[in-house]
Structure 1
Amino acid sequence: MEDALSDFYHYLRVEKGLSQNTLASYQRDLKNYKLFLVKEAKIDQWNLVKRGHVQHYLYQLNDQGKSSATIARTLSSLRSFHQFLVREYRISDDPTLHIDTPKKDKKLPKVLSPLEIEKLLSINAQDPLTIRNKAMLEMLYATGLRVSELISLKLSDLHLTMGFVRCLGKGSKERIVPLGDIAKESIELYIQFSREQLVQNKQTDALFVNQHGKPLTRQGFGNILKTITDQVGIRKEVTPHTLRHSFATHLLENGADLRAVQEMLGHSDISTTQIYTQVSKSRLKDIYRTHHPRA
């Protein structure tokens, strides 16, 4: 059994070109699966695995409290492996056929209230680093960019006179996102008074740089955000994606068109954007319960 797994990992690494992290995920899923087959199902050959064994293993994961997302990912790993064995003529039938993938639990994204956003963006920007920090936060909330898109921005991606920013999203899909006046002012201030001091004599076209003049990293931005939320007294957990969620939710709450928000976020499927309408309804219920005298 181990030889087949080794060949599959080689196929994923060399032919599919998967990253080390993705490969490790496959290895973890299949190691646990093989352990179940050998110890509990008493199976020592892949051609003896039947559909019922796969289902039993998935039921066991469910009993252990694994999320539907984890079970769906595991089934995807098992399916890829068994399909590989069929293609390699090591087994004749794929036991994962006709097994439904569990639907993922849809958790509503956490957002900041408009008041909390005001708190977050009220930081006192006086020196090069705080001016940069304010510009980054203003841009994230104004555009809904992912943090990976923010730190990848180049100076040439900015079109401040026209009032928009160009970014490359997932799958290198280009999109144009409008910039509000407040965000434009913060970015202009950063470029005029801060960026040059941070870059000094280094050659970089990155828009946002760290104190050493090098392009900012995801981890670097995460640390900055954590420091600022602590400083302004926001006690809930705030991630870079929280600002993206807040951007979308506040737009929809104020009457924005769902298709327009989808385009600004760079979602290929509108169902991904629709989750923010549920957030809006949830927030309305909270407001009603809090403020209505007979709620």
Structure 2
Amino acid sequence: MRMLRALYNKGVYAGLTKHVYNLFHDVYTGIDKSHKKAMSPVDLNTLFFGKVSSPALISAQQIARLMYCLCGIPFVDFQHVGADSVKDGSLNYSRRKTGVCVSIPVNKETVSLIEKAAVCPSDMNTEAGYRHYQSLLRKFNASLSRLASKLGIKAHVSSYTIRHSWATTALYCHVPVEVISSALGHADIKTTQIYLKGFNAKEIGLANRKVCRCVENK
């Protein structure tokens, strides 16, 4: 619904349709904060390193692992990166959605993987290019779904699952939210906080004991 509203607004601005006051007034177009897409580290390990024989699934597995290693880069931006995106040991790209520049240090092995996993980029400013991108994304998500099923992973897996999982794992590794936000290319840290899956009671309990020890009588 958010995408539909955005398309409608673009149509209004372009003079292709009439403006209807409060057209989306009774339609929920927000983000459900209770819906978390992150996978557990165990499932991620299985997804990235589980044994499969199909060339198509192996390719999807390699791309998924690479996207994760590139700080959860979204597929729409991944299709535009290549060896020429690397300068002075860092992969540099601009988030299509926010325009935020992201710089990720990479080694020679990662650069080699980027070259091998290169996806034919789409010109998103044209109808044909956008359709091409949507086709690539559907095929990739379908391959990820088959890969997960083949490896016995019950969780839903898509290109965005990888992105959310990287963000949540980074939080569990005590990476500051500000750093996570910058790595994801978010323009607003509030967006990052929506991505992040909360800690469970056990983890909160451990943290609380550490904090309480700081003021205990010695």
Q: Same fold (TM over 0.5)?
A: yes
Distance 1:273 1:190, change over 3 A: closer
Q: Distance in 2 between matches of 1:263 and 1:128?
A: 34
Q: Distance in 1 between matches of 2:153 and 2:54?
A: 23
Specify the structure having the higher radius of gyration (Cα).
1
> CA contact under 8 A between 1:128 and 1:190: conserved in structure 2?
no
Q: Distance in 2 between matches of 1:178 and 1:270?
A: 22
Q: Distance in 2 between matches of 1:158 and 1:208?
A: 16
Higher helix share: 1
Report which structure shows greater RCO (CA 8 Å, sep ≥6).
Answer: 2
Q: Distance in 2 between matches of 1:235 and 1:244?
A: 18
Q: Give the alignment partner of residue 101 of structure 2, picking from 145, 161, 174.
A: 174
| C-alpha displacement of 1:288 | 8.5
| C-alpha displacement of 1:17 | 2.3
Distance 1:229 1:287, change over 3 A: farther
Q: Distance in 1 between matches of 2:111 and 2:57?
A: 12
**Unaligned residue ranges in structure 1 (runs of 5+):** 1-10, 34-57, 62-69, 74-102, 196-206, 290-295
**Unaligned residue ranges in structure 2 (runs of 5+):** 1-8, 122-131, 206-218
Distance 1:136 1:225, change over 3 A: same
Structure 2 counterpart of 1:188: 112
Identity of aligned residues (%): 21
Amino acid at match of 2:119: F
Distance 1:17 1:108, change over 3 A: same
Q: Alignment partner of 1:172: what SS?
A: coil
Q: Distance in 2 between matches of 1:227 and 1:104?
A: 27
> CA contact under 8 A between 2:37 and 2:161: conserved in structure 1?
yes
Amino acid at match of 1:221: F
Which aligned segments of 4 or more residues in structure 1 are displaced greater than 3 angstroms? 123-132, 184-187, 286-289
Q: Alignment partner of 2:79: what SS?
A: helix
Structure 2 counterpart of 1:117: 44
| C-alpha displacement of 1:126 | 7.3
Residue range with higher mean Cα deviation, 233-242 or 113-122: 233-242
| C-alpha displacement of 1:241 | 0.8
Distance 1:288 1:220, change over 3 A: same
